[in-house]
Every structure is written in C-alpha cells, then in structure tokens.
Amino acid sequence: MNTLLVVVGAGLIASGGLLALLASRWPRWATGIASGTTVLGCGLGLVPALRVLLGATGEEVRLRWSVPNGDFLVAMDALSAFFLVAIFSLCALAAIYGVEYLQTYRKHKSLGPPWFFFNMLVASMVLVVIARNAVLFLVAWEIMSLASFFLVTFEHEDEGVGRAGWTYLVATHLGTAFLLALFVLLGEGSGSMDFVGFGLAEHPVPRHASLLFVLAVVGFGTKAGFVPFHVWLPEAHPAAPSHVSAVMSGVMIKTGIYGLLRTLTFLGTPPAWWGWLLIAIGLVSGILGVLFALAQHDLKRLLAYHSVENIGIIALGVGVGLLGLSLQSAPMIVLGFGGGLLHVLNHACFKGLLFLGAGAVLHGAGTREIDHLGGLLRRMPWTGWTFLVGAAAISGLPPLNGFVSELLVYLGGLEGVRSASTSHMPILVSVVAGLALIGGLAMACFAKAFGIVFLGEPRSSKAANSHECGWCMRLPMVILAMACAAIGVLGPLMVRLLVPVIALVTGMPDEGVRATTASPCTILGAVVGASVALLLLTVGLVILRKWLLSGQTVSRTVTWDCGYAQPTPRMQYTASSFAQPLTRFFQAFLRPRISLVRPVDTFPASASLATHTDDVFREKVYSPVFRGVARVVSGLRWFQHGRVQIYVLYIALTLLALLLWKLD
Amino acid sequence: MRIASLCQLLLALVLAPLLPGVINKVKAFVAGRTGPPIVQLYHDMFKLLGKGAVYSETTTSVFRFAPLAGLAAVIVALTLLPIGSVRALLAFPGDLVLLAYLLGLMRFLTVIGALDTGSSFEGMGASREVQFSALAEPVLMLTMVALARQADNLSLSGIYPAITGNTWVQAGPALAMISAALLAVSLAENARIPVDDPNTHLELTMIHEVMVLDFSGPDLAFIHYAAALKLWVFGSLLVGLCLPLRTGQALADVGAFLAGMFLFATVIGIIESTMARLRLLRVPQMLVGAGAIAIVALVLVLR
Amino acid sequence: MQAWTDLVLILVILTNLALAGLSSFGTCVRVLAFQGVLLGLVTVGVQQGDLSLHTLVLVAGIVAIKGLVFPRLLLRAVREAGVRHEVEPFIGFATSLLIGTLALPLAMWLTSHLPRVGPAVPPLLIPTAFHAILIGLLLIVSRRKAVTQVLGYLALENGIFIFGVGLVRQATLLVEMGILLDVFVAVFVMGIAIFHISREFDHIDTDRLSLLKE
C-alpha cells in the first residue's frame, strides 16, 4: 500500500502537469492545477515515505510495460524513503512559492510549459528514487534531465541562458552515457535489468567492481556536481527560475548521491582506495566550490557554487564511511554515512531556503548583482531574517542543522585519526583540516552574501525601491528556516531515524548500527544542551541590556564616518572588496581576470576596475577538449550535403548493412 | 566534581578581564611607564554598563543582537574547557569541534554586526577578520587533532588530563611545536600584535577594533568582555598544554593554572612590546607557517 | 642521546621549511648556516659510540665550511649582485611552504617503503634526509634567481650528507669530505659567475637567461 500511494502521488503530479499544459491559455488555472496537484501529490507521498522510514515495509509494485528488458518495477525501502522525504517536502514548498514567483512572467510568457516541466521534474525524481529496474531508472533519469533542461532555458531570450542550457544538456548526457555502461555491466552478470539481480553483495566481489564504482562516481557525480564534473552546475542553477533552482540544488542533484549509494549496495565490501577517492573528490569539491563561490558577484551563482561545496561535504561523509567499511570500523561507518546522509537532508533545507530567498531578492529588487544591493533587511524583513538563518546554517554554525551533520563527519574523521593505522592518516587528517577550512571559508562567503545584500545602505535605486514578497513566497521560506532550527535541536532523533538507511547502505545489521549510534546520539544530546544554554544566555543578555538601558538616553545618529562630510552609499565596502583578500590569497586556483583602467591626471575623467572569475575547469579543461572534438568532427562535415536524395541513400545503405549483419 | 567544574567557569567569568590588564601592565613596564592599573578593564566595563547607547540610523536589529549572542557563544565555549584534571562542565567526544564552531559563531556575529553599519572601515575590518580566521581555523583543528591522537581521546576533558610531564618527556618536540602553532593562532584570533594592534585607533590598520567602532554603552562593554573571555579560552588551551601539572588536587591544579594564565598574559605582553605589526599581506604567511609547524608536529605524533 | 639527535633532526626539518617559506636571501643564508651547524651535531649524534678525535676534527671542518665559509661566500655574492629579496617566484611562498610541509609525509612514506637500515640509525634520520633533498629540488625548480637556486643545491647536498651519515658510518666522512670539496668549488664558481653575470646583464633571473640560447 505504501509504494502504491507514492506511485499514485507521482501520477497525480504528472497528470497535473499535463492538465496545466493543456490549460496554458488560462494562466490562473494552469498555476492552480499544477501547484495544487504538486502539493497534494507530495502530501500523499510524504506519509508513506515517513512510515517506511519509521519501520513499515514498502511493497513491490510491478506493472506491465512493453519495453525490452524493461519492467515497471518500483519499490520503497529506507534509502528511497529517506530521499523521498526530502523530495516531497521541498517540492511542495517550491510549488507554493512558484505560484507567486511566476506571476511576474505572466505578461509576456505562457505559464503552462514551466508548470508542466516542473511537475514532470518532481514526478520523475520520485520515480528515479523508487525505480527497481535499470531501464525504468534510466527513463526516469532522462525525463528528469530533460524537464530540468527546459526549466533552465525558461528565460531563453537572455543571452547567457541558452549557453547554460546547452552546457547542462551536454554534461548530463555524458553522465548518462557512463550510467548506461554501468547498468549494462551490472545487468550482464545477472541477465536481468532488475535491481534485485544486481545484488552482488552476497557473492564474492566481482573483479570489475572497481570499474563499476568508477563508472558510478563519474556518471552520478556529474549529476551531483562533483569537481571536476560540476561545470554545468554554476551555469544552469542560476539560470532557472528560483523555485526551480531550489529544487534542482536542494534535491535534484541529490539523486546523484542516491544513485551512488544505491550502486554501493550492489558492490559488496569496498577496498580502501574507494574511500580515498571519494574523500579526495569531496575535499577538492568542497574547497574549490567555496572558493569559487567567494569570487562570485551574482547571488544565485554564488549559491550554485555552494552546492558544489556541500556536495563535497556529503562526499567526504560517504568517503569516510567507505573507508570505515574497508577498515571494519563501525563508528567510522555510522558517523561517515550518517553525516553524509543527514547533510543531504540539511542541504535540501538550507539551500532550498537560500535559493528561495535569492528569488525573493530578485523578485523584490530586480537584480541578483550583490554589489547593486544592500539594506534589504529593512525593506524585506521576512526574506532577510530567514536568509540569515539559512546563511548561518550553511556555514555550519551551531545551533542550526548544518552543524549537526558536519559534526558527524568531523567525528567520523576524528575517530579514524584516533584509531586507524598510520597509512590512512594523510587522508583522514585532511578530512578534518579540510572541513575546518571549508567551514571558515563558507562563513566568510555567507557573511559577505548576507552582509552586503541585506545590511548597510542600498547601493542602487533598485535596492532602495525593493519590496517584500507576498505570503505565498514567505511561507515556504519561514517553514524551511524553522526546519533548519528544528533539525539542529533534534539531532539525536534524526540520527535514530537514519539507522535503517545506514544499515541498508552498508549491509550491517540494524541492531549493530543502532548500538553504534548510541554514542553519537549522546554527543548530539550534549550539543543540544549547549544550544539551549546558548539560547537562554542570549535571552538573558537581551533582558539584561533592556534593563541597563531603561532610564538611559538611547539616541540615533549617522554611522561613524571619520569626519567625512558627504558619505554616500557607494562608498560602502562591496562584496568584491570584502572577498578580495581571500580571492587574492587563493588566486593560484581562482585565476581571476582583472581589467583595470587606472585613474590618470589630477582630474581623472574615468577609471574602472572589473574582476571576473571563470570556472577554471571550464576554461582550462573542457573548452580545449570540446574545441578539439569539434575540430575532429568538423572533418565529417562532407556527409552533410543538404540533398534529400543523399540522405535517403544513407538510410537505404544503413538498412542494407543491418540486414546483411542479421542474415549471417 | 560538578561543583569544581562550575567553580572554574565562574573563575573564568570573573578573572578573564584581568588578562588584558596584565598584558597592558607588562607593555607599560617594558616601555618604562606606569601604565593603567591591572583592573582597568573592570572600570571601563562598569562605566560603559551604566551609560546610554547611540545607534547608527543605518543599523537594524542585527546590530543590537550580534554582541549579545556573541557573548553568549563564548560563555558556552568556556563550559567546554577543562582546568588541569578538573573536567569541564560539558564534556563529550568531539567537543573540540563545538568549541571551534562556537568561536566561529561569535566571529560571524561580530562580522555581520560590523557590516550592518554600512561603514567601509568596518567592512574592511570584517573582510580581514574572515580571511585570517578562515586560515586560522584549519591550524587550530590540526593542533587539536595532533593532541587528540597523542592522548588517544576526542574530548578536551580527556585530552588535557592525559598530557603530563611524562608526555613532554616522550614527545617534547611535537608538543612544543603544537604550542607554537597554538600561540600563533591565539595571537591571530585575539587580534594581538603581530596580527592586529589592539591599541591603534587608526581605522585603516585595525581588524577587531575597527569592527566594533560603532558600538557604545552596554553593547561595547559586552564586546570587551567577550574579547577578554575569548582570550581566556585560548589561554586555557595553551596553559593546559604547556604547564602539565596534574597533582590530582583540584585546588593545587587551579592554582597552577592561574599562575599559567598570568604567565600567558605576560608572554603576550612581551611579544607585543618586542614585535611590530606584520604587514597585512604577511599575516596569511604567518598562519600558513603555523599550519606547517602543526603538520610537522602531527607527523611526529603519528610516527 | 637518541632524544637529542631526534631534536636536532626536527630542527633540520624546521630549517628546511624556513628555506621554503622565506623570501629574504640574507635570512635564507643564515638559516642554511644554522643548518650546517646542525649537521655537525647530527654527525656527532650518530657517531656517539665511537667518537674519535678524527671524527671531531672532521665535524669541526663540516661546521666551519657549511656554517661559516659558504654563508660568507653567498652573502658576498648576494651583496655584490645587489638583490635582497626573491620576487615573484614561480610558486608563491605560502604555497611552497605548504608543498614543503607535505613533502614530510611523503618522505616518511618513502622511508617506510625502503629496507630498514640498522637499529643504531635514528628513525627520523632517513626521512629528514629525503625531506632536505625534496626541499632542495623544490627551491631549484620554483625560484627565479640564481642565488636561490644555489641555496637549493646546498639544501640538496645537505640531504645527501645526512643520508651518508646514516648509511655508511665510518667511510662516509671521507667520501663526504670529497663531496664537500666539490660543492665548495661549485659554490665558489657560482658565486663568481653570478657576480659576473649580474655585472653584464643587470639581473640574474634565470628564466630570462634563456635569451642566451638564441
């Protein structure tokens, strides 16, 4: 019954999308139908997903499907249920948000297609997570990619958006090619494309398990945004409408993590170097992600790079867990996988929140250039305060949820440092030091994002005239902010919820995992104690100051300006200047392009400074490769004559060749 | 046991403002001046607490909220610190991460409080603060990792009692290097020379002082107090490491610890008297150097 | 005794790191001089069992050449060439310091994969030697000025020296004296060459010397 409900929910969402497409002519109806069915479908699916997570079983549902090797086979276990909870919750909130957000486009765009693709995206993500047949999985994966492609190119009349869309399309299909190879190899062993047959865990590890693992890391890593397969991410996420960015960043890229974890269940005990590889990828993604984020001027692009960073933290957690599996250290397994998985959920909360906040800024002020904003907290208090919660959470600051999952990964690394042999020390020490560096840089980056956008004085008339969004947009942000705080305080509970998921991924018995989680649960309990103390102390201090200031004069004046006669808002520190010391220190990695026109003479007519940080991998790795490929392929151009007769000849020749091949 | 833990927290809360006083006294002594009394900071704080406040028109509630929550964060951080063999009030494996992140929270709040004023001076200070602390954070974590491995324990209250005179005999060079790295981090995190000069009031050269330019009245008192407590936090980390007197008697341990803190403040005073501030571009190099020393220490510990 | 030798070896590692991270020639040369003195101490530490007059004299020679003569020559060369700071190395100082630090785990790893040398050799000796060699290579590869490259050669030579001290305990000193003399001549020649080059070309950037190939 549980799985069936989820399938019905997904079907409801998909059909809602179709109806919205049919109702394109009446935007109000299209919006209402699509968002209504999404919320309803998500609500319908959330209940069984939670029940399965709490211990109920999700039965297999097999429907007839006439595709060779394919079978419409779906089921729900703890791993699926965990990802479903994130998908359903965030998508429902994004759908509510979208109702108001897309209104801006009503005048010059039809709202049917974006809603159709949004609903298809949600439904396909659900299908990806519950599919138990490789063909079905790949079909759902492809629908997911295409739906998100059309959403990314929603504003295709903008110059950059087209480029972003094509980058995304190419990257995601290259990734899918690796997945195809992965599933063909997996299916070869069992002779069936059902996941059940892939379960190699019982058998001795096949010789090519490592090959399969690498294929999965590349294929799923492309979707997840591991460096160096991340190049599409900072292009595509900012281009999409904000509620879609939230869904893409919050949950869609996590389907890559889901796929990787699912593949791990097929592959048996990992050798140590798998853990090393994932940790290395996690470190590079985390550090480069946050560094590139620091150098960005565009709020949504900054957030997109932070997704790379957080995927890196998740990879660190999973890597520590894998290393624990190969070293047979139960605490490392539980802490690593637990931290990684919890960070999946946490990142869905705060990244969803931050993208929705960025959308509200774009909606209210009309720009996402950080250096044109400022002083928005007074004008958009709801957006501002919820954004602050998200910023603190993503920086991993206690008492919010980001700290809980990062602490678990830290503990996994520290446990490894304490107990593992010297040969694994370099990678384990770099987990801890790397996390600290990522944490410090993320804090710098979000101090910049929040401080420059929401604090100070507005730097342009757009920011000065900005307005707060309506309740449809506020409500999802408030709910997500509360979720960030709640998970932070309910840490021990969350870890207990994760027990069946960890057991499923690692193949450890439930009881073993539960026994091992006892220690992290007490630790998180102590953290909760500290958090409560922190809150109480803050409240106490607020009361103390109120009492101290009662009866005293409290006056308001201008900010201390060093005696300068006419300060203007443009003299404030900008985001670029705020980040400059760090970007300069790390310029070896960032390679910023700086164009400077110096002021000359006593009365300089003009001067300008522009910095631009392109993605190093895009500029230095992919562009040359693709140019090379284009050069090679352009040699084949003579095939294209533009004459119909020739094309018919090609077809005839192909048919003939196939016939001959089949005959002998 | 709990009582002792609580007492040491109270000790920190009461005595922390003495540290800047001792530092200033030492600096004055080296310079041949009398200097302000050791208890000067108490006077300043009481004066400020009794005053009204002036807020900038640009600021929002973030500005009002930041110093209070920052003070709360550092007080909670204090509950994680053991003195000698006396356990901390709150001790669990991995509390060293919570300590680092609570200080991070305090820093985040100070920085956004500074950015709330819209002043470019304060933006400048905030920008420097986040750069230096982002580089100091991994160094702090590396030293803690080295100590955790050395003591085979993941809790501060387990690590520090495990470091005894005997540990110094066995792994002296490594511990000395850890202390050196920790000292560099303390100087950077507490805005002391050679990273920042707490005495200059020239906005362009300062880091911490420039971030708090616009605070006044009780808020400024809270900020001064929080800064003193933060210095106490780093001081305890260092003193617990460098003065491994573990008699098992709470009173003797605490006495030795207090003497150590006095010594710590004196050392900082001497450093401040004898060194000049580094150029800002040099500070990251100093922190990377501290990180290098911490890594060497770690390699020695792991050997 | 073992503890003291270890301490000296750790100091050698730290001086290596200082070489990687410092930009001023003068300081680098002084650090190298200090390292020379440390090498003398290492020799004494390793030879502890049979400390003859012969050894002592040779140690005194090592300290004199590495600690006094080389630095003098180099400082003179630097003064004459009129350069005080290494500017714009190929790798930034912070980065090269970090690389230098990471060379230590690498050296440890290399050592653990070598056959174990006799029990009398301090365990830290071989890694220190590797580290000094790696640092020397790093300096030669990453710096522009010829003078710093000479420093790199000297660090490299120090590494080989430590190796020698550990591996062949008696014969080493004789061999070493030979090498030392070679290097002595080399440094001498380089000093003169640098002096002349700088007089002819106004600079001693090696990457610009490639103009000579045409």
* Per-residue pLDDT tens digits for C50-68: 667 777 777 787 788 788 8
Question: Chains with ≥3 Cβ pairs under 8 A against B?
Answer: A, C
* Per-residue pLDDT tens digits for A352-387: 999 999 999 999 998 889 989 888 999 999 999 999
Beta-sheet pairing, A58-63 with A72-76: antiparallel
pLDDT at residue C199 is higher than 60? no
The full length of chain A comes to: 664
- Cα distances from A625 to residues A622, A635, C88, in angstroms, run 5, 16, 31
Record the tokens describing residue C206, joined without a space: 């090696």
Q: A632 and A606 in one domain?
A: no
Instruction: Give the predicted TM-score (pTM) of the model.
Output: 0.91
* Per-residue pLDDT tens digits for B155-180: 988 888 888 888 888 888 889 999 99
Q: List the single residue in B177, B289, B300 with the smallest CB-CB distance to C97.
A: B289
pLDDT at residue A642 is higher than 80? no
* The dihedral sign for the CA sequence A540, A541, A546, A551: positive
Record the tokens describing residue A69, joined without a space: 């090797």
Q: Mean pLDDT of all residues in chain A? A: 89
Question: Of the given ranges (A134-138, A356-360, A380-384, A564-568), which has the lowest mean pLDDT?
Answer: A564-568
**How far is Cα A364 from Cα A470, in angstroms, rounded to an integer?**
10
> Best residue in A401, A424, A560 to probe B by mutation, most B CBs within 10 Å?
A560
Supply the pLDDT for residue B83: 82
Supply the pLDDT for residue C205: 59
Indicate whether A154 belongs to any domain: yes
* Per-residue pLDDT tens digits for C153-171: 788 888 887 877 776 655 5
CA distance B21 to chain A (A): 25
* Per-residue pLDDT tens digits for A81-123: 999 999 999 999 999 999 999 888 888 888 888 999 999 999 9
User: Which residues of chain B neighbour C7 with C-beta distances below 8 Å?
Assistant: 172-173
Average pLDDT of the segment spanning A33-44: 92
Indicate whether A248 belongs to any domain: yes
Q: At B166, which amino acid appears?
A: N
Task: Tell how many helices (H) and how many strands (E) occur in chain B.
Answer: 12, 1
User: Which residues of chain B neighbour C6 with C-beta distances below 8 Å?
Assistant: 173
Q: At what angle do helices C146-167 and C125-142 cross, to 10 degrees?
A: 160
Q: How many domains does chain A have?
A: 3
Average pLDDT of the segment spanning A200-221: 76
Place of tokens 């494996």: B93
Contact C92 A426 (CB under 8 A): no
Indicate whether A130 belongs to any domain: no
A177 φ/ψ sector (left φ>0, alpha ψ -120 to 50, else beta): alpha
Q: List the single residue in A425, A426, A588 with the smallest CB-CB distance to C95.
A: A588
Interface size between A and B, measured as CB pairs under 8 A: 249
Exposure pattern of A361-375 as b/e (b: 16+ CB <10 Å)? Answer: bbbbbebbbbbbbbb
Query: Is residue B8 within 8 Å of residue B86, measured between CB atoms?
Result: yes
Q: Mean pLDDT of all residues in chain C? A: 75
**How far is Cα B170 from Cα C159, in angstroms, rounded to an integer?**
26
**How far is Cα A517 from Cα C16, in angstroms, rounded to an integer?**
45
Indicate whether A409 belongs to any domain: yes
Place of tokens 């960032």: A590
Q: Give C44 or A632, the one with higher predicted confidence.
A: A632
* Per-residue pLDDT tens digits for A282-318: 999 999 999 999 988 899 999 999 999 999 999 999 9
Which secondary structure element, helix H or strand E, spans residue B176, and what is its range? helix B165-189
User: Which residues of chain C neighbour B291 with C-beta distances below 8 Å?
Assistant: 98, 101
How does DSSP assign A318-373, residue by residue?
A: HHHHHHHHHHT-HHHHHHHHHHHHHHHHHHHHHHHHHHHHHHHHHHHHS--BGGG-
Q: A186 and A237 in one domain?
A: yes
Indicate whether A57 belongs to any domain: no
Supply the pLDDT for residue B275: 86
How does DSSP assign C122-176, residue by residue?
A: -TTHHHHHHHHHHHHHHHHHH--BHHHHHHHHHHHHHHHHHHHHHHSTTHHHHHH
Beta-sheet pairing, A554-557 with B53-56: parallel
Strand residue runs (E) in chain C: none
Record the tokens describing residue B285, joined without a space: 């190099």
Q: A631 and A607 in one domain?
A: no
Q: A632 and A602 in one domain?
A: no
**How far is Cα A155 from Cα A162, in angstroms, rounded to an integer?**
8
Indicate whether A187 belongs to any domain: yes
Task: Provide the 8-state DSSP code for A181.
Answer: H
Indicate whether A28 belongs to any domain: no
pLDDT at residue C200 is higher than 60? no
Query: Which of the four pLDDT bands, split at 50, 70 and 90, describes residue C189?
Result: low
Burial class (CB in 10 A: 0-12, 13-18, 19+), B31: exposed
Q: A232 and A198 in one domain?
A: yes
Contact A426 C95 (CB under 8 A): no
Please choose, from the candidates A239, A231, A226, A181, the residue with its C-alpha nearest in 3D space to the C-alpha of residue A208. A181
CA distance B285 to chain C (A): 6
Query: Which of the four pLDDT bands, split at 50, 70 and 90, describes residue A212?
Result: confident
What residue in B sits closest to C112 (Cα-Cα)? B303
Q: Give C176 or A487, the one with higher predicted confidence.
A: A487
Contact B300 C10 (CB under 8 A): yes
- Cα distances from B197 to residues A65, A115, B204, B279, C124, in angstroms, run 74, 58, 11, 12, 40
Please choose, from the candidates C126, C110, C108, C114, the residue with its C-alpha nearest in 3D space to the C-alpha of residue C165. C126
Query: Is residue A394 within 8 Å of residue A306, measured between CB atoms?
Result: yes
pLDDT at residue A541 is higher than 70? yes
Q: A367 and A385 in one domain?
A: yes
Q: How far is CA A26 from the centre of its chain?
A: 33
Contact B148 A414 (CB under 8 A): yes
Supply the pLDDT for residue B17: 93
Indicate whether A503 belongs to any domain: yes
Interface size between A and C, measured as CB pairs under 8 A: 5
Query: Which of the four pLDDT bands, split at 50, 70 and 90, describes residue A259?
Result: very high
pLDDT at residue A450 is higher than 90? yes
Tell me which range, A189-198, A426-435, A598-607, is most confidently predicted by mean pLDDT.
A426-435
How does DSSP assign B186-224, residue by residue?
A: HHHHTT-TTT--TT---GGG-SHHHHTTT--HHHHHHHH
CA distance C33 to chain B (A): 21
Q: Give C195 or B154, the one with higher predicted confidence.
A: B154
Percent of chain A whose pLDDT exceeds 70? 98
Query: Which of the four pLDDT bands, split at 50, 70 and 90, describes residue A344?
Result: very high
Please choose, from the candidates A119, A118, A132, the residue with its C-alpha nearest in 3D space to the C-alpha of residue A65. A132
Q: Does residue C205 sit at the B interface (CB-CB below 8 Å)?
A: no
**How far is Cα A295 from Cα A610, in angstroms, rounded to an integer?**
12
Supply the pLDDT for residue A333: 92
* Model-level ipTM above the cut of 0.90: yes
Listed as ranges, residues in chain B with pLDDT below 50 are none
**How far is Cα A257 from Cα A280, in angstroms, rounded to an integer?**
16
Range(s) of the domain holding residue C189 = 2-213
CA distance B89 to chain A (A): 10
Supply the pLDDT for residue A47: 92
Q: How far is CA A594 from the centre of its chain?
A: 30
**How far is Cα A450 from Cα A395, in angstroms, rounded to an integer?**
12
Domain spans, chain B: 2-302
Record the tokens describing residue B100, joined without a space: 């680092």
Supply the pLDDT for residue A199: 63
Average pLDDT of the segment spanning A195-217: 73
**How far is Cα A336 from Cα A410, in angstroms, rounded to an integer?**
8
Range(s) of the domain holding residue A498 = 137-534
CA distance B26 to chain A (A): 31
